[in-house]
Amino acid sequence: MLLKGAFVLKSAESGIERLDVRIGGGLIKDTGILEPLEGEEVFDLSGKLIMPAFYNAHTHAAMTLMRGISDDDPFDVWLFKKVLPLEERLDGEMVYYGTMVALMEMASKGVAGFVDMYFFLDDVAKAAEDMGMRALITRGLVDENGEDGGRLEENLDFARRWKGSELIEPGLGPHAPYTCSLDYLKRIAEAARDTGLPVTIHLYEAAWERERYDFRDILSVFEGIHLIIAHAVQFTEEEIKELTREELYVAHNPSSNLKLGNGVAKVSRMIEKGVKVSLGTDGAASNNSLDVWHEMRLAALLQKMEDPTKLGVEDALRMATEMGAEAMGINGGRIEPGRVADLVVVDIKKFHYMPPENLKSHIVHSGSSGDVFATMVNGKWIYFDGEFPNVDVDEILEGFKRSVERLYNRS
Ligand code: NI
Give the N- to C-terminal CA distance of the chain in Å, as an integer. Answer: 47
CA of 12 from ligand 1 middle (Å) equals 26
Domain ranges of the chain: 2-52+335-384, 54-328
Domains 2-52+335-384 and 54-328 share a fold: no
* pLDDT bracket for residue 405 (50, 70, 90): very high
What is the helix, strand, coil percentage profile of the chain, to 5?
Answer: 40, 25, 40
Distance 58 CA to ligand 1 centre (A): 6
- Amino acid letter for position 127: A
Q: Model-level pTM greater than 0.95?
A: yes
Residues 6+ apart with CB under 8 A from 297: 316, 364, 365
Which residues sit with Cβ closer than 5 angstroms to ligand 1, an ion?
Answer: 282
* Residue 316, helix vs strand vs coil: helix
The DSSP code for 5 is S
DSSP state of 147: B
Whether the per-residue pLDDT at 411 is higher than 70: the answer is no
Predicted local confidence at residue 175, as pLDDT: 97
Three-state DSSP state, 332: coil
What pLDDT score was predicted for residue 146?
Answer: 87
pLDDT tens-digit series, residues 139-194: 999 999 889 999 999 999 999 999 999 999 999 999 999 999 999 999 999 999 99
pLDDT tens profile 124-142 = 999 999 999 999 999 999 9
Q: For residue 291, what are the contacts with CB-CB under 8 A and spacing of at least 6?
A: 105, 109, 281, 369
Q: Is 56 helix (H, G, I), strand (E, B) or coil?
A: strand
Of 89, 165, 164, nearest to 126 (Cα)?
A: 165
**Residues with Cβ within 8 Å of residue 207, at least 6 apart in sequence:** 234, 262, 263
Rounded to the nearest angstrom, the distance between the alpha carbon of 59 and the centre of ligand 1 is: 6
Residues 6+ apart with CB under 8 A from 240: 266, 269, 270, 273, 275
The correct CATH number of 54-328 out of 3.90.230.10, 3.20.20.140, 3.30.70.270, 3.10.690.10 is 3.20.20.140
Which element (helix H / strand E) includes 404? helix 393-407
CA 61 – ligand 1 centroid, Å: 10
Q: Which fold has domain 2-52+335-384?
A: Urease, subunit C; domain 1 (2.30.40)
146 Cα–ligand 1 center, Å: 23
Q: Output the CA 282–ligand 1 centroid distance in Å.
A: 5
| Half-sphere exposure for 142 (CA within 13 Å, toward CB) | 11
Q: Transcribe 173-213 into DSSP letters.
A: EE--TTTS-HHHHHHHHHHHHHHT--EEEEES-STTHHHH-
All residues at 6 or more sequence positions from 174 whose CB lies less than 8 Å from its CB, including other chains: 141, 180, 184, 185, 188, 199, 201
* Rounded distance between C-alpha atoms, residue 267 and residue 273, angstroms: 10
The mean pLDDT value for 288-312 works out to: 97
Q: 229 alpha carbon to ligand 1 midpoint, in Å?
A: 10
Q: How many Å lie between the centroid of ligand 1 and the Cα of residue 116?
A: 9
